Amino acid sequence: MKTVADLGDLSGKRVLIRCDLNVPLDDDRQITDDGRIRASVPTLQQLREAGARVVVMAHLGRPKGQVKPEFSLAPAAARLSERLGTEVRLATDVVGESARQVVDGLADGEVAMLENVRFEPAEESKDADERAALAKAYAAFGDVFVSDGFGVVHRKQASVYDVAQLLPTAAGSLVQAEVEVLQRLTSDPARPYAVVLGGAKVSDKLAVIDNLLKTADTLLVGGGMVFTFLAAQGHAVGKSLLEEDQVETVRGYLAEAERTGKQIVLPTDIVVAPEFKADAPASVVAADAIPSDQLGLDIGPESAEAFSAAIRSSATVFWNGPMGVAEWEAFAGGTRAVAQALTEVDGLSVVGGGDSAAAVRALGFADDAFGHISTGGGASLEYLEGKQLPGLDALG
């Protein structure tokens, strides 16, 4: 995989760079977590210091090929300007007249940003020719291409994959760092190796569970997905989230773990409430005795301590997915306990992006308290599944 240093002298050259600036916004379009923006800064500063003329491509949300003002990159451009300490000029279109003028107006060391690439229907097209045509328009803005948006490398999209076929290409420092960490998780990880999985649905993580049962020593399961595991053990789960069509598959995972000597650790207690509301009255019940009129919204305190002990005793830990409804204080205890335990690991601790990364920041943990916080939850999981990621394949 080539690096920015392999591109040679970049002074005066236009560097087209794919970043992942898909940050969460509140109802007032204010950024609630700028972790991905901060993670993009080192490569952008490296390019600026090299005298490059930097052209940023990125997306925000899912406008699905339509120009929707609520998905404009304006908030990201403003915050990136603050983080870089220099103006990032945002074009009002993606490959139109505004984009051409903004790019043409760049001086050495300056940064411009194209509007949301997902405003272009061809960006996410399944038709390779459509994507290639758009990629050609992107490539007209650059002399070289740098891939630094790890959160999208699992997507075969014009600004991720196709443009890399048209220009000299390298990986930015963010993509390099992410790949190095994931290689450590998949190639002879230090043991004991524990994986903590949460989030709503077990169906979202079937492939990664299947693959991790081959590599990890212990799998700790929380979040909404845990109720399908409990049901597979024959327990009633009340009104909790349950994917009945996955119960048999999960039963197979439990049997496979027992056969191969791997541990799948499930909660022994659950925080429940009568309804899905932040202020619903919470109580703690045994995991095998959830009342029919209650739904589980977090792992219980006994389970949080057991999970924490397993994490602290591991040399390698990967975590993806909160243990409960972490944005509600009454149901954030499990997630907070897991995050705290990860900060105490004597080895490699990895927060696998997405909701987990947002949760640890919202709970007040500093990024540098962990070994690594990934910027790409989906990309990280697909890498751990053993899948080929188009955006990485394009880098050679």
Residues of the binding site for substrate: 20-22, 36, 59-62, 118, 155
Catalytic choice (354, 376, 377, 391): 354
Contact yes or no for 41/86 (Cβ under 8 A) = no
Helices (H), 31-172: 35-49, 74-84, 97-104, 128-139
Q: How far are the Cα atoms of 181, 199, 342, 369, 389 from residue 348, in angstroms, in the given order? A: 9, 22, 9, 11, 23
Please confirm whether the linkage preceding 121 is cis (ω < 30° from 0).
no
Residue 201 designated active-site = yes
Q: For residue 378, indicate whether it is catalytic.
A: yes
- Cα–Cα distance measured from residue 75 to residue 272, given in angstroms and rounded to the nearest whole number: 38
Amino acid 178 reads E
Residues 6+ apart with CB under 8 A from 172: 4, 17, 43, 146, 147, 148
Q: Can 36 be counted among the known catalytic residues?
A: yes
CA–CA gap between residue 232 and residue 261 (Å, rounded): 19
Backbone angles phi, psi at 219, to 5 degrees: -120, 115
Calpha distance 124→111 (Å, rounded): 25
**β-pair type (295-299, 269-273):** antiparallel
Residue in the structure block whose two tokens are 């405003």: 119
Catalytic one among 201, 251, 262, 312?
201
Which residues fall in the annotated binding site?
A: 20-22, 36, 59-62, 118, 155, 205, 296, 327, 353-356
Q: Is the dihedral of CA 287, 292, 293, 297 positive or negative?
A: positive
Strand order in the sheet with 269-273: 283-286, 269-273, 295-299
So which residues are the catalytic ones?
A: 36, 201, 354, 378
